[in-house]
Amino acid sequence: MHVGILTGGGDCPGLNAVIRAVTLALVNEAGARVTGIERGFEGLLTRRTRPLDVHAVEGLLAQGGTVLGTHNRCNPFHDAAAGGADRSAQAMATVRELGLDALVAIGGDGTMTIANRFSALGLPVVGVPKTIDNDLMHNDRSFGFDSAVAVVAEALDRLETTARSHRRVMIAETMGRYAGWIALEGGIAGGADVILLPELPVDIDAVAEHCRERERSQGYTLICIGEGVPLQGGLVVREHIAESPDPLRLGGVGVLLQHELSRRLSTEVRSTVLGHVQRGGSPTAFDRVLATRFGYQAAQLVRRGEFGRMVALQCDRIDSVPIGDVADRSRTVPLDHPLLATVRGIGVMVGT
């Protein structure tokens, strides 16, 4: 059996741990040959590959990023580098020429959308969910999320010391796109006093009033805001990348909130964009375990010939779902999520 592995979309802590687990499981349990496809689906167009074996994956468990490289702008069905041409047939030809019996695609919704289209063309593909945003459908937790939350928590701990010492309002802006998972769990773990999510409406006057009350009681306020919060009715967009499957690069809502609060408060207000720091570095122990479970399950799906499916964590069981059920969809924080009641119950302002 010859199996290809690729990583697509943004990098994420735990990608290497999945590559390692898929490879080791396939080599140990099936004597398979494994080939890494470089830079996501682009590698199927450029034919850039590398052999993966027990030695090649040594030391990968704790390494951040992806040794295979990745790409979040290459879609063989609409190749921007070739004027939007459909080069999927060329990618399928590469699969045949390499003699791949299966492809394991590790990535987020963009990668799953592309994988689903290849699956429809007859490519035996298995998906593994990756995203620090934790926003893939039918999957309770993606690896990388816990690592990102840990970074947000540490950042808030650090911002809190300045907030307390200077009696300031300190704002941390997190990633997460249109889902508030990172802001919510990071905000809780870092002890934020106000947590603002894309899923909930935000009234800036109400946030300002909360900060005034806190100034009188505690003297300072720590705010955690997700990058996808439509603060004044619209998203704050840093960049527009037409050729990307996800063309809007969000960022800057924290600064906007800083300005709006500064106009309303006598307290000093500062903001920090946590950005790609949340995506970098070594995965947490939780993410290393989850990535290993996902990788092992992907290898089982390949061995059983269960293609067109994505590995998924559901109620702490590793299962799988049709990739088509995941493609083009995203999982936001439900308004009745128990964590919202929990934080409100301890006096944290969540939305307004």
Binding site for ligand F6P (CB under 6 A): 10, 72, 108, 131-133, 175-177, 227, 249-250, 279
Residue nearest to ligand F6P (CB): 175
Task: Please report where in the chains the tokens 């099936």 appear, as a residue.
Answer: 30
Which is nearer to ligand F6P, 39 or 177 (by Cβ)? Answer: 177
What is residue 62's DSSP assignment? T
List all residues 6 or more positions away from 265 whose beta carbon is below 8 Å from its beta carbon: 169, 208, 211, 212, 215
Which is nearer to ligand F6P, 177 or 210 (by Cβ)? Answer: 177
Q: Shortest gap between Cβ of 165 and ligand F6P (angstroms)?
A: 30
Which is nearer to ligand F6P, 76 or 107 (by Cβ)? Answer: 107
Q: Shortest gap between Cβ of 133 and ligand F6P (angstroms)?
A: 5
Which is nearer to ligand F6P, 163 or 256 (by Cβ)? Answer: 256
Cα within 13 Å of Cα(337), Cβ side:
18
Cα separation, 142 vs 179, whole angstroms: 13
Task: Please report where in the chains the tokens 């035996």 appear, as a residue.
Answer: 124
**CA dist 309 to 101, 157, 277, 300, 352, Å?**
15, 40, 31, 12, 39
- The residues annotated as belonging to the active site are 133
Q: Parallel, antiparallel, or unpaired for β 317-322 and 309-314? A: antiparallel
- In 3D, which of 21, 13, 106 has the Cα closest to residue 65? 13
Q: Shortest gap between Cβ of 226 and ligand F6P (angstroms)?
A: 9
The neighbouring-strand residues paired with 143 are 130
